[in-house]
Structure 1
Amino acid sequence: MPVAARRLPSWVWVTGLTAGAVAAVAVLTVKADQGPHPTASAVRPSASASPAPGAESSPKPKPSATPAKTGVPAASGTGRRIVYDLSSHRVWLVDADDTSRRTFTVWPGTVEPVPGTYTISVRKDATTGSDGVEIEHIIYFSVVSGVNIAFSNAVDGSSPPPAASGARTGGIRMPKADGSALWAFGDLGTKVRVVE
């Protein structure tokens, strides 16, 4: 005579499936963290940005050296990192093999970060900057005397307006295409090396 099979309560099935899904996500997260990270595009778009009609714009960032002399600064460390040179107002996106994938000039704020090594601590899609400009791709990496230091670009692609007298701003602005490339490259925890 056959014996009737016992059915497990539905909560046992749900609990088992949930635990399995959590374990699978944890394994995939660890594997993704160990895998390759995205690299920036090697194509360098034009840094031109047009302000809105009738609006004044800040001077365009000027390269401090010819293209042949814009290599990654020697004192910027090794490995995958973002390098920011205070004297030339230039950023490099450097892959793990120390290959520079992209470099571009930026418009610094009035408060500069102190030379050293930092990590990206916060990423924010969009907000309004302290100058009232809508900005996106905000990547925070330092604080100086209560002023947050972050890379960003204006949503409309314009250069930042001149800082008001005495204004303390820590936004390091860049053209829109460069902001998109930096956003794709700079994950949370990515190293930022600031040099003079």
Structure 2
Amino acid sequence: TPSALPTPSGPPALPEASGVGRRIVYSVYAHRVWLVDATGESSRTFTVWPGTVDPQPGRYTITARTEATTGSDGVRVEHIMYFTVASGVNIGFSNAVDGASPPPANGARTGGIRLHKEDGAALWSFGDLGTKVSVVK
């Protein structure tokens, strides 16, 4: 009897209608980020832990970068890259200095999209001020 064909596996595909050119793509529903090079190909993708306040789908740019600080949840974070404000809360990417995943927010309004430590370092290297950020559902 013929064997079943292997099912292709690998990282999820870059969402359609996520823009063109070099950019960071963030999917609110998938809790995932893609780093997209100038040719439109994803060079890296990874999962994230969203804050309690989500950005609206749309096109943004990195407006500020901070090497390290304490997040609104009291966790020491690094590689902070802000790209918008939603409901009065700053929204940006960061990773915990100790590499831990964030605890539940306990009702706090947080806009930090937390990354694994190695992904935070990769995003920090990829995204300068003005880098495009595409937020999709």
Pairwise TM-score range, normalised by the shorter structure: over 0.9
Q: 1:174 aligns with which of 115, 120, 130?
A: 115
In 1, are the aligned partners of 2:22 and 2:132 still within 8 Å (CA)?
Answer: yes
Name the counterpart of 2:59. Answer: 117
- Number of aligned residue pairs: 130
Normalising by structure 1, we get a TM-score of 0.65
Name the counterpart of 2:84. Answer: 142
Largest Rg, 1 or 2: 1
**Going by fraction, where is helix more abundant, 1 or 2?**
1
Instruction: State the shift of 1:69 in Å.
Output: 5.9
Render the CA deviation track for 1:160-196: whole Å, top value 9, x for unaligned. Answer: 011112x100000010000000000001000000001
Name the counterpart of 1:192. Answer: 133
Name the counterpart of 1:107. Answer: 49
In 1, are the aligned partners of 2:11 and 2:45 still within 8 Å (CA)?
Answer: no
> Gapped runs of 5+ residues in structure 2?
1-7
Q: What letter matches 2:21 in structure 1?
A: G
> Gapped runs of 5+ residues in structure 1?
1-65
Name the counterpart of 1:87. Answer: 29
1:122, 1:161 → 2: CA distance? 25
State whether structure 2 residue 40 is matched by structure 1 residue 98.
Answer: yes
1:130, 1:77 → 2: CA distance? 30
Identity rate, percent: 69
Name the counterpart of 2:106. Answer: 164
Name the counterpart of 2:5. Answer: none
Aligned Cα root-mean-square deviation (Å)? 1.1
Name the counterpart of 2:3. Answer: none
Q: What letter matches 1:193 in structure 2?
A: S
Instruction: State the shift of 1:67 in Å.
Output: 4.5
Instruction: State the shift of 1:68 in Å.
Output: 3.6
State whether structure 2 residue 72 is matched by structure 1 residue 130.
Answer: yes
Q: What letter matches 1:186 in structure 2?
A: G
In 1, are the aligned partners of 2:64 and 2:83 still within 8 Å (CA)?
Answer: yes
Normalising by structure 2, we get a TM-score of 0.92
Q: What letter matches 1:70 in structure 2?
A: P
Give secondary structure in 2 for the equivalent of 1:157. Answer: coil
In 1, are the aligned partners of 2:58 and 2:135 still within 8 Å (CA)?
Answer: yes
Q: What letter matches 1:155 in structure 2?
A: V
1:145, 1:90 → 2: CA distance? 22
1:87, 1:132 → 2: CA distance? 25
Q: Point out 4+ residue stretches in structure 1 off by more than 4 angstroms.
A: none
Instruction: Using CA pairs under 8 Å that are at least 6 residues apart, name the structure with larger relative contact order, 1 or 2.
Output: 2
